[in-house]
Structure 1
Amino acid sequence: MSLHETGILTKADLVAAGRYPSEERMKKGPVAVCECMQNIPCNPCETSCPFKAIHVGENISNLPQLDEGKCTGCTTCIAACSGLALFVVDKSYSDEVGTVSFPYEYTYSFQVGDTVKAADRSGKCVCEGTVKRIVNAPKADRTTVVTLEVPIDFVDEVRSVYRNR
């Protein structure tokens, strides 16, 4: 099923649109995934990237384009994205697990080292993950960047965690 049928973006949608990093690149280390699929006037991902790996261009309604060769997976773009549409994935972490970094704008009580329920793009729990890093940079304007270690088979799907209640 596709975005147009369910309203939920899938990896297949991103691959079909040429907007998902190659498997070869993902196995070399962390890399950004721009899951922005709407032509809206926005470019903070471009202006925040210290490596100039994201290009929107003069018309800020263009979709962001990632230069895989320039991206280091630094995660700076994640907190800058007002649409919460940027993620960093790393399939080079090990053969069994990878990492996913994502924006998180809810109150939370989990800490580094905690095991949490990892959610896919639809909010469905798909696996458990271990919190590896939590970054609350002042320049991020209250957007926390969370990095989870998850089983390698779920790196392409995990995009958040279940909210604490």
Structure 2
Amino acid sequence: MKHETLKTTGAPSLEELRATPAFPTREDFLRGPIAVIECVEEIPCNPCETACPKGAIKVGQPITNLPIMDFRLCTGCGRCIAACPGLAIYIKDYTYSEDEALITFPFEYLPLPQKNENVTLVNRMGEAICQGKVKTVINAKINDCTTLISVIFPKVYFDDVVSIQRLPVEEICH
């Protein structure tokens, strides 16, 4: 499978992602919270498969296979998010409310946003898309130092939003 956008820009296009076996369809998103795996390179990796308590993610043999999702089994629990060493998994919920969606993603930068803080959401290229409000910041021990952040944002930006803009780092040294 060719990934021209990935190779030229550093991020896969939505079309390239939709061609992978682990990217949800519009119908899948309408069922509720669901894992989105933006894994397009065939590399030896399978922590997402072993982390999924429902068996919704399969890599199989060889270990370089792209993950395959059974979206009927995915409950959007998020266990796969922190398990992914490439930070390529997030949960999206198109059904969060009539006008808003919810995204939960890994975030390994400091400073961390705070609950109820307004943040700028970005697309795959890091470009600002819209504003959102932090719902939760989870720093659970089970996530092995990977913080999971959930942000509520306007549903009209659903396809484009994947993360937040890094917050400014305050000077620690004077």
Matching of residues 41-52 of structure 1 within 5 Å: 41-52=44-55
Structure 1 counterpart of 2:132, one-letter code: G
Q: Is 1:15 matched up with 2:24?
A: no
Q: Could you tell me which residue of structure 1 aligns to residue 72 of structure 2?
A: 69
Deviation, structure 1 residue 147:
0.9
Matching of residues 1-165 of structure 1 within 5 Å: 2-165=5-168
Cα RMSD (Å): 1.5
Deviation, structure 1 residue 4:
4.0
> Aligned with 1:129: secondary structure?
strand
> Aligned with 1:132: secondary structure?
strand
Greater mean alpha carbon deviation, residues 71-80 or residues 136-145: 136-145
TM-score relative to the length of structure 2: 0.89
> Aligned with 1:127: secondary structure?
strand
- Whichever of the two has the greater Rg, that structure is 2
Structure 2 counterpart of 1:82, one-letter code: P
Deviation, structure 1 residue 10:
2.1
Counterparts of 1:113 and 1:94 in 2: how far apart (Å)?
Answer: 17
Deviation, structure 1 residue 19:
3.8
Gaps of 5+ in 1: none
TM-score relative to the length of structure 1: 0.93
Report if aligned partners of 1:98, 1:151 keep a CA contact under 8 Å in 2.
yes
Report if aligned partners of 1:2, 1:12 keep a CA contact under 8 Å in 2.
no
Q: Summarize deviations over 1:16-37 as a string: whole Å, max 9, x none.
A: 3354211112111000111011
Identical aligned pairs, as a percentage?
42
Deviation, structure 1 residue 6:
2.5
Structure 2 counterpart of 1:64, one-letter code: P
Q: Summarize deviations over 1:20-56 as a string: whole Å, max 9, x none.
A: 2111121110001110111111111000011111001
